[in-house]
Structure 1
Amino acid sequence: MDCLNKEFPVISTERLILREATAEDAEDMLRYLSDERVMQHTGMDPFGSTDDVLEEIAWYQSIVGEGTGVRWGITLKDTGKMIGSCGFLNREARHFRAEIGYELSHDYWGRGIAGEALRAVVQYGFSQLRLERIEALIEPENGPSIRLVERNGFLREGLLRHYEYTQGKFDDLYMYSLLKSDRM
C-alpha cells in the first residue's frame, strides 16, 4: 500500500493514538472482540480465544502487505490500552476508493471516541491514500453505526439486498459514501 511501505503510520488525535495492532494487544482486543454487543453487526461470531485475535491481527497485517487496506488499533493516549480498531478494507487503488470499518469496546460507547477515530482515519484516507470515495456498508439494524457515519457527512446511497452471507443468513446492507469533495 502506498504510504505504508516503510513504517506503519501512527495517527494521534486529542484522546487517541491510532497504531498498528500487535500480539501484545491480544488480551485487550479479546475483551471487546469476545463481546456479543460489539460483534453483533460485524458478520462474525464473538472471538473465543487469543488465537482468534492473533488471526485477526495477521489479517490486519496481510491487507497492508497486499495493499488492500490498513487497520489501526484505537488506543487511549493516557493508558495505551487498545479499545477498538478502525481502518480501510477492500481498497481499490486504481479506482481511488475503499471501505471503512470499525469496532469499539462497549465500555467506551457514547463518548465520541468512534467519531474521533473515524474522522482521523477518513482524513488519512483522503490526504495520504489519495482516496476519492470512502464507503461504509452497514446493517439496517445498526442504528449507532448509521448515526456515526451520518454525523460525519456520509450519505446513504441505497440498500444492497442480500449483499453478504454471514453466520448462516443473507444480510441486507446500506451503502453509505463520503467523497473527498464532500469534505471541502
Structure 2
Amino acid sequence: MSDHPKIETNRLILRKVSQDDARDMFSYLSDSEVVKHMGLEPYQTVEAVYEEIEWYHSILKEQTGIRWGITLKNSDRVIGSCGFLNRNDKHFRTEVGFELNKEYWGKGVAREALEAVVTYGFEHMKLERIEALIEPNNISSQSLVEKVGFLKEGLLRHYEYTCGKFDDLYIYSLLKGDEIHFKPEH
C-alpha cells in the first residue's frame, strides 16, 4: 500500500496529512493533556511537528503502518489522527493509535474515526488482529476501545520507556471475527 487512501464517514474525512497541516496539528500536539498518554512531551514548535508528519509518511512507505489526519467534512482543519503502527504482515496484525484536539473530546469524533480505521483494516488490509496499547490511567481511551468491541487481554508491565519513566500498558485486541459495536451513539 504505497498510496494513501481517503476514508469518509458521516461527519469526517480521514486523509493523508502534509506539511501544510503542521500548524493545525501543533494546536493539539503542544497540549499536555492531549499527549500525556502518548509517551511524548508536548511539542514546542510547529517545526517539530514536521517530524511527526514525516513519521506518518515513512511508516506508509515502509508498510509498517498508516496514519490518517482527522478532519470534519465542513473543514479541512486536521483535528487529530488515527491509524496503524507496528504492522506485522506475517501475523496479520497491527496496533492502532489515535489522538484528538481537546476541543472535540466527548463528541463521538474519536469513536467515528476509530470505527472507520478498524473497518478499513479488516476489509482492505487483510488484518486478523488489531491491538491497542493503553496506559492504565488513560480511562477515556480504554472506554473508547471497549465501546468499539476491543477486549482487555492483560497488563504489559514496564512495556515502554518514555519521558524518563517505565510505563505499564494494558493490551486490548479486536479480532476480525469479533462482534464489533459500531452503533450510533446518542
Structure 2 length-normalised TM: 0.95
1:38 is matched with which residue? Answer: 34
1:114-169 CA-partner distances (Å, limit 9, x unpaired): 00000000000000000000000000000000000000000000000000000110
CA-based RMSD of the aligned residues comes to 0.8
Quick one: which amino acid aligns to residue 46 of structure 1? P
SS at match of 2:43: coil
The SS at the match of 2:131 is strand
Q: Distance in 2 between matches of 1:99 and 1:183?
A: 18
Deviations 1:32-53 (A, max 9, x none): 0000010010000001111111
Listed as ranges, the matches of 1:1-184 within 5 Å are 4-5=1-2, 7-183=3-179
Cα displacement (A) at 1:80: 1.1
- Percent identical pairs in the alignment equals 61
Which stretches in structure 1 are left out of the alignment for 5+ residues?
none
By how many angstroms is 1:183 displaced?
3.5
Aligned length, in residue pairs: 180
Structure 1 runs, 4 residues or longer, greater than 6 Å off: none
Q: TM-score, normalised by structure 1?
A: 0.96
Structure 2 unaligned blocks of 5 or more: 181-186
